[in-house]
Amino acid sequence: MWNTHSLFASLAVAAFGILSLTSLEAFAAPIQSSNITKRAPTWSFPYGSTKVRGVNLGGWLVLEPWITPSLFDGTGNPAIVDEYTFGQYQDYNTAHAKLVNHWNTWITYNDLAAIKAAGLNHVRLPIGYWAWDISRGEPYHQGQLPYLNQAIGWCRTLGLKMIIDVHGAPGSQNGFDNSGQRINYPLWHTNSDNIARTNQIIKTLASAYSSQTDVVVGVAPLNEPAGFRGNDVLAVTRQYWYDSYGNLRYPYGTGQQGPLIEFISDAFQPPSYWTNFMHWSNGFEGVIMDTHYYGVFSQAEVSRSWDQQVQAACAKSSDITSFTLWTIVGEWSTAFTDCAKYLNGRGIGARYDGTYPGSSFVGSCAQWTGSGANFSAQYKTFLRRFWEAQATSFERGQGWIYWTWKAENADEWSYSAGLNYGWIPQNPTQRNYPNICG
């Protein structure tokens, strides 16, 4: 039942004989190569010659308890653990007023101006399906779209590129609170209605933004589908990437290509799983792989020494360069613990200090999270090394987008705090440790 849209994308591109510009191989030849047809659109950012260096606008149009714990603590209700329950368990007017105030203040023009001033060239903006569709009675609030469009205008003024990231899908694609709904098992892939609704949103995005690619370079059709759940999720995800390709790359209802790029998630799978998937040699064009890297979501990772964290980050470059599509690291941070309050979910502890169910104590969280004003000089030096190791490693691919721009009380995750306290350079190409990855 997932094949109702079938392989429209591959059939369409096969008919027009289009060569991909999104694989490393395609750029191996000079741009004048006669192998590149004139049908290939011109991207609004020079992918392949300029690295992606960007930051996520996390916790703005999709709430995350660890990014803005005050919004959740302020409800006085421990059952409110995500944006779904934020609407479900509060009076509508009360919840809506809080959301509108948050939307108005969390990300402003000044934030984007600071992002531009920091030498970054992309922002990735997470938004949930509910901004377009709550037709099945979901308790989400709407009103996000004017803020999305305002941010696009700000980016246009400043000269920033944007990736619109569908961070939550109907039924939840991963069960994480950042999908909008924290549940034990994701349901998006189990229901054809969920998938049809998500496909319709991608069509809506393509229609709205194919004419605005001076800013909106592309769309991530779905953030982090839970491929670790097995082939049931992966089979649906693979078909959804094909469907999204047709919807994004052919938005006009004809054989004419549009200019939007599709950013597909690796769904927590290794490069070998995706070998030649949607590859240029099969006629696909305008596809970039988005992989995420965090060294904090397992007991083994939080048990690493600082040097081991740096080594692991450097080693990640071999994965990134093994994908057969161009690849960016669309989320990463300088955190080396999972100590940030609510990072694992509201009311759930940390592996690092042994308060997460089934974890074992590594150390106290006290000195590793919170305000950077309280971080030791030694800790800040490590954060700089860790930032440089990751940025260097990820630029062996097509670049990176850091998670996230700001957080209320977790500066180890905050790009703006890193700039302020000095562990992130004002110029992202500057290195104190130029040989950190060899």
Average pLDDT in the 392-416 region? 98
How far apart, in Å, are the Cα atoms of 174 and each of 167, 187, 190?
10, 8, 12
Q: Which residues neighbour 368 within 8 Å (Cβ) at sequence distance 6 or greater?
A: 336, 337, 339, 352, 379, 412
The confidence score (pLDDT) of residue 193 equals 98
Query: What global pTM score does this model have?
Result: 0.92
Instruction: Examine the pLDDT at 30 and tell me if it is beyond 50.
Output: no
Categorize the per-residue pLDDT at 22 as very low, low, confident or very high, splitting at 50, 70 and 90.
Answer: very low
pLDDT bin (cut points 50, 70, 90) of residue 330 is very high
Q: What pLDDT is recorded for position 23?
A: 33
**224 catalytic, yes or no?**
yes
Q: What does the pLDDT read at residue 11? A: 33
Q: Per-residue pLDDT for 37 more than 70?
A: no
Residue 42 is predicted with a pLDDT of 74
Q: Identify whether 64 is a catalytic site residue.
A: no
Residue 41: the pLDDT is: 56
Helix 145-158, helix 109-117: angle, nearest 10: 40
How many CB atoms are closer than 10 A to CB 416?
Answer: 18
Closest residue by Cα to residue 8 from 199, 167, 194: 199
Residues 6+ apart with CB under 8 A from 151: 57, 107, 112, 123, 125, 162
Neighbouring-strand partners of residue 329: 291, 400
CA distance 296 to 351: 9
Give the H or E element holding residue 316. helix 306-320
Q: Which of 64, 224, 388, 395 is catalytic?
A: 224
Say whether pLDDT at 299 is over 90: yes
In tens, the pLDDT along 176-210 reads 999 999 999 999 999 999 999 999 999 999 999 99
With a pLDDT cut of 90, the percent of the chain lying above it is 90
Token pair for 384: 């700089």
Q: Give residues with Cβ within 8 angstroms of 217, minimum separation 6.
A: 43, 44, 45, 122, 161, 162, 163, 260, 261
Considering 138, 301, 331, 412, which one is annotated as catalytic?
331
Q: According to the model, what pLDDT value does residue 317 have?
A: 98
Q: What is the pLDDT of residues 219-269, one digit of tens each?
A: 999 999 999 999 999 999 999 999 999 999 999 999 999 999 999 999 999
How far is Cα 412 from Cα 100, in angstroms, rounded to an integer? 27
Mean pLDDT of the chain: 92
